[in-house]
A and B are shown apart, each in its own frame.
Chain A
């Protein structure tokens, strides 16, 4: 029966090729949208997991992206570090600083301020130069680390000097800049293409920002012993510091990714549109085929072909078309996703390490299930019409 369906399908070659091309384009879009649905969140999760710090603490009731401050952050960190299940913890702040260098004009950079004891902070990797010394991290210092993109764009290297303009209260710039020495160039985990980033001690950053509140930080990162239960540690911290909201990585990703990049919603809309297109292409092709094959169907029924056989011949054509479209659409969709990923990563402030389209077994399986269901639905009505065609009426029409 499948051979019969195939032979019927390939008789109008140009129509078939055009339909397969149309279906495969829509299949590619369905596949891409499944890859997009959770791609960004999975990618962000993976980057955050690679840092090794599983918990993020921010002030209760604050949005993780609002930049609200935790007061007495270092004191909290010291307490948390004493928890037996906690391997490490450190406070982190993010600020915007005006910088000038080599007689250049003032530009703004994103700056991470941190403190704590560790060999390598989890949010950057040194590419050249030397990491900030323990003293430089814990105290005010004139050493900074800059991002790779920043260094490349402005041709800066370790040992070069930059001037940073401190903020005073009320956000007016102080005229007299402070000079900083670049101690290293690093790759920042969430660094966008050509994005200008820097890392320096928390105390230095807060002073430069004119922050008068005592010992502040935007977030505290906590590294839990892998052998321990993260939920239990989270519960203990929550109990000890009820004014802090504790996020594990999935919660944190949900909280920051969904409002900023509602890609799952976009993906759902596009998936529905693409699936409708697959349905329409298939339905039109098959409905046309059934309309043109009335005489053939009459012939088959008259020689003893059951209605179910006639149904199968048309229905299988729908599935074969879907299969062909899928076989072309999946690789096409994959390469298209890579290309789109490349474009998206080139957008300003989009971290290089983040991917928008991620190929996972589930994205592939859901694509195949969706296309199978759409193919079956689109084939069902024409196949049903073929099976219910009135043989006698067709015989009369054919003879007229």
Chain B
């Protein structure tokens, strides 16, 4: 369903070439949580950006449901992210002027879902992530763990089959890290493809498969 085929990514810093990825090939299966681990600069985030269609590979392809992401326009890739990929970041990227409920509602709003349905789906997600009592709180009024749960709930709003998480527990304590790990694992069990990039070995250990990236290459599965 989601495949990385010989992915290369080269950045240019002036005249200097930085090879972030050097031929990554990998198939991501449903009901599987895959964790990419590795030191800073190993290419974890770059890989996730390519899988999400945020960035385009210098060489190689990302296949999603038979389509090549690099063959799509920016608007089409954005539409793919809206419907098929849920993204979670270390910094949450919640809108500070919206409540938790409204933040979760955002992808549904962009997808053109009717108000009544939006409210229903948002309520379901708030219940699922035990955030009912935080529904009307703004991001700055709640803890880091809760913020990340809201971010995951938002990523799930349109019920995408793929969840990509870039350092989802980077700013969380141990208890919250464990909780987020359980949530992501449960999502995989429910049939989603979950891919995460992390430094955190404790979180990685909850994944079905752990892939070590080093210097832009898969070193070990």
Q: A: which residues have CB within 8 A of B?
A: 1, 4, 7-8, 10-11, 295-296, 298-307, 309, 391-392, 395, 398-399
Question: Could you say which residues of chain A place their CB within 8 Å of the CB of B93?
Answer: 295-296, 298-299, 302-303, 398
Chain B, residue nearest A309 (CB): B110
Contacting residue for A11 out of B74, B75, B97, B154, CB 8 A:
B97
Question: Could you say which residues of chain A place their CB within 8 Å of the CB of B96?
Answer: 11, 296
Contacting residue for A304 out of B89, B94, B95, B110, CB 8 A:
B110
Chain B, residue nearest A391 (CB): B54
- The answer to whether B87 touches A392 (Cβ under 8 A) is no
Complex: A7 Cα to B86 Cα, angstroms: 24
Contacting residue for A303 out of B75, B91, B107, CB 8 A:
B107
Q: A304-B110, A309-B110 are in contact. Are A8 and B97 (CB under 8 A)?
A: yes
Interface size on B, residues (CB 8 A): 33
Question: Could you say which residues of chain A place their CB within 8 Å of the CB of B91?
Answer: 295, 398-399
- The answer to whether A304 touches B107 (Cβ under 8 A) is yes
- The answer to whether A306 touches B106 (Cβ under 8 A) is no
Give 12 pairs: A residue, B residue, CB < 8 Å, sorted on A. A7-B102, A11-B96, A11-B97, A296-B96, A303-B93, A303-B155, A304-B79, A304-B81, A304-B83, A391-B54, A392-B55, A395-B89
- The answer to whether B75 touches A307 (Cβ under 8 A) is yes
Contacting residue for B49 out of A8, A305, A392, CB 8 A:
A392
7 more CB-based (< 8 A) A-B contacts, given A7-B98, A295-B93, A398-B93: A7-B97, A7-B102, A8-B95, A296-B96, A303-B87, A307-B75, A399-B90
- The answer to whether A304 touches B78 (Cβ under 8 A) is yes
Contacting residue for A299 out of B52, B55, B82, B95, CB 8 A:
B95
- The answer to whether A392 touches B110 (Cβ under 8 A) is no
- The answer to whether B54 touches A303 (Cβ under 8 A) is no
Nearest 6 A/B pairs, CB to CB = A304-B82, A299-B93, A11-B97, A304-B81, A302-B87, A7-B97
- The answer to whether A392 touches B154 (Cβ under 8 A) is no
From B97, B106, B107, residue with most partner A Cβ within 10 Å: B97
B109 within 8 A of partner (CB)? yes
- The answer to whether B75 touches A306 (Cβ under 8 A) is yes
Q: A295-B93, A296-B93, A307-B74 are in contact. Are A302 and B154 (CB under 8 A)?
A: no
Question: Could you say which residues of chain B place their CB within 8 Å of the CB of A298?
Answer: 93
A306 CB, min distance to chain B CBs, angstroms? 5
Question: Could you say which residues of chain B place their CB within 8 Å of the CB of A10?
Answer: 97
Question: Could you say which residues of chain A place their CB within 8 Å of the CB of B45?
Answer: 399
Complex: A73 Cα to B149 Cα, angstroms: 95
Question: Could you say which residues of chain B place their CB within 8 Å of the CB of A395?
Answer: 49, 54, 89
- The answer to whether B79 touches A302 (Cβ under 8 A) is no
- The answer to whether A303 touches B154 (Cβ under 8 A) is yes
Question: Could you say which residues of chain B place their CB within 8 Å of the CB of A398?
Answer: 91, 93
Complex: A4 Cα to B96 Cα, angstroms: 12
B212 CB, min distance to chain A CBs, angstroms? 21
- The answer to whether A302 touches B54 (Cβ under 8 A) is yes
- The answer to whether A303 touches B95 (Cβ under 8 A) is no
From A4, A299, A302, A391, residue with most partner B Cβ within 10 Å: A302
A376 CB, min distance to chain B CBs, angstroms? 23
Complex: A126 Cα to B97 Cα, angstroms: 68
- The answer to whether B97 touches A306 (Cβ under 8 A) is no
Question: Could you say which residues of chain B place their CB within 8 Å of the CB of A305?
Answer: 78, 82, 106, 110
Complex: A221 Cα to B202 Cα, angstroms: 101
B132 CB, min distance to chain A CBs, angstroms? 22
Question: Could you say which residues of chain B place their CB within 8 Å of the CB of A306?
Answer: 75, 78-79, 110
Chain B, residue nearest A8 (CB): B97
Chain A, residue nearest B103 (CB): A299
List which B15-65 residues lie within 8 A (CB) of chain A: 45, 49, 52, 54-55
- The answer to whether A4 touches B81 (Cβ under 8 A) is no
A290 CB, min distance to chain B CBs, angstroms? 14
Q: A305-B110, A306-B78 are in contact. Are A299 and B54 (CB under 8 A)?
A: no
Question: Could you say which residues of chain A place their CB within 8 Å of the CB of B90?
Answer: 399
Question: Could you say which residues of chain A place their CB within 8 Å of the CB of B55?
Answer: 392
Question: Could you say which residues of chain B place their CB within 8 Å of the CB of A302?
Answer: 52, 54, 81, 87, 89, 93
Question: Could you say which residues of chain A place their CB within 8 Å of the CB of B75?
Answer: 306-307
- The answer to whether A303 touches B82 (Cβ under 8 A) is yes
Complex: A8 Cα to B96 Cα, angstroms: 9
Complex: A391 Cα to B45 Cα, angstroms: 13
Question: Could you say which residues of chain B place their CB within 8 Å of the CB of A301?
Answer: 78
Contacting residue for B94 out of A8, A299, A392, CB 8 A:
A299
- The answer to whether B155 touches A4 (Cβ under 8 A) is no
From B49, B82, B107, B110, residue with most partner A Cβ within 10 Å: B110
Question: Could you say which residues of chain A place their CB within 8 Å of the CB of B106?
Answer: 300, 303, 305
